[in-house]
């Protein structure tokens, strides 16, 4: 079983749509969770951290369910510029600050 | 703030040669730097973790004699791909973690290596 699993997509949605991505992780001891965005042939960029209470940043909302080891990202009012691959990222349990990346979910927003 | 640079951004080399990639934290001190590799349509795979002044820790399956990592200062880490082969062609990305920070890592723009 992969340490971090995501649906690869692609999710093809019209502008203005709401889209949700899910992610599951295998290590119950993980403590830090993130969503990164990666554009084609570029480095990943931090989109947002994910907190236990859930958090929102503009059109983006992240949720964490520790009991189910499940993380979600909701994007409202999709823009063309949201087209990218979204990576679910979880830290390993040890103290080395290593991050484990999911394989990513590709989003295509069409006009 | 929190800018990480990589050099070169792309390189083409012949099979059997060595290539050095530099990763620099420009406006902060990075106690820990990480090296990742990403093949097309795959996610980032951690290769090794390097701490300033000590030997790098390699992930399982990564040959430490082939991928030499040096973290000589708090702002510079280098990855040398020795005796490169076509299967080493990939996108190499470094990241840096600032001293005293949480788990957040700042990523360099990556180096695209093509071995012919």
B32 — contact with chain A (CB < 8 Å)?
yes
CA terminus-to-terminus distance, chain B: 37
A47 — contact with chain B (CB < 8 Å)?
no
Low-confidence ranges of chain A (pLDDT < 50): none
Q: Which single residue is written with the structure tokens 């554009």? A: A39
Confidence of residue B1 (pLDDT cuts 50, 70, 90): low
Contacts of B60 (CB under 8 A, 6+ apart): none
Phi/psi at A47 (5° precision):
-90, -55
pLDDT of residue A103: 92
pLDDT of residue A96: 61
B54 — contact with chain A (CB < 8 Å)?
no
Adjacent-strand bridge partners of A93: none
Q: What is the pLDDT of residues B84-103, one digit of tens each?
A: 999 999 999 999 988 766 67
How does strand B111-115 pair with strand B10-13?
A: parallel
- CB within 8 Å: A97 and B105: yes
Burial B96-113 (b: 16+ CB within 10 A, else e): bbbeebebebbbbbbbbb
Report d(CA B42, CA B65) in Å as an integer: 24
pLDDT of residue B105: 85
Report d(CA A3, CA A62) in Å as an integer: 19
Mean pLDDT of B69-75: 89
Probe site for chain B from A7, A38, A97, A103 (most B CB atoms < 10 A): A97
A49 — contact with chain B (CB < 8 Å)?
yes
Consecutive H or E run containing B50 = strand B45-51
Distance from CA of B37 to the nearest CA of A (A): 11
- CB within 8 Å: B43 and A98: no
Share of chain A above pLDDT 90, in %: 75
pLDDT of residue A93: 66
Q: State both tokens at B50.
A: 């390097």
């Amino acid at each position: 079983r992969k340490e971090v699993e995501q649906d690869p997509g692609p999710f093809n949605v019209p502008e203005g749509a709401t889209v949700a991505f899910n992610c599951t992780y295998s290590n119950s001891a993980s403590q830090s969770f993130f969503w990164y965005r990666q554009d084609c042939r570029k480095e990943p960029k931090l989109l947002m951290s994910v907190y236990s209470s859930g958090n929102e940043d503009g059109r983006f909302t992240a949720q964490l369910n520790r009991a189910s080891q499940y993380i979600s990202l909701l994007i409202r009012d999709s823009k063309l510029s949201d087209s990218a691959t979204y990576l679910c990222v979880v830290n390993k349990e040890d103290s080395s600050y290593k991050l484990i990346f999911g394989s990513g979910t590709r989003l295509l927003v069409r006009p | 703030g929190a800018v990480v640079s990589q050099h070169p951004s792309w390189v083409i080399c012949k099979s059997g040669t060595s290539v050095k990639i530099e990763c620099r934290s420009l406006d902060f001190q990075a106690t820990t730097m990480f090296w990742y590799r990403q093949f097309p349509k795959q996610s980032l795979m951690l290769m090794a973790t390097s701490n300033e002044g000590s030997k790098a820790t390699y992930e399982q399956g990564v040959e430490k004699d082939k991928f030499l990592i040096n973290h000589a200062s708090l702002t510079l880490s280098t990855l040398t791909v020795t005796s490169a082969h076509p299967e080493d062609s990939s996108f190499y990305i470094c990241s840096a973690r600032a001293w005293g920070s949480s788990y957040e890592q700042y990523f360099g723009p990556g180096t695209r290596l093509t071995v012919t």
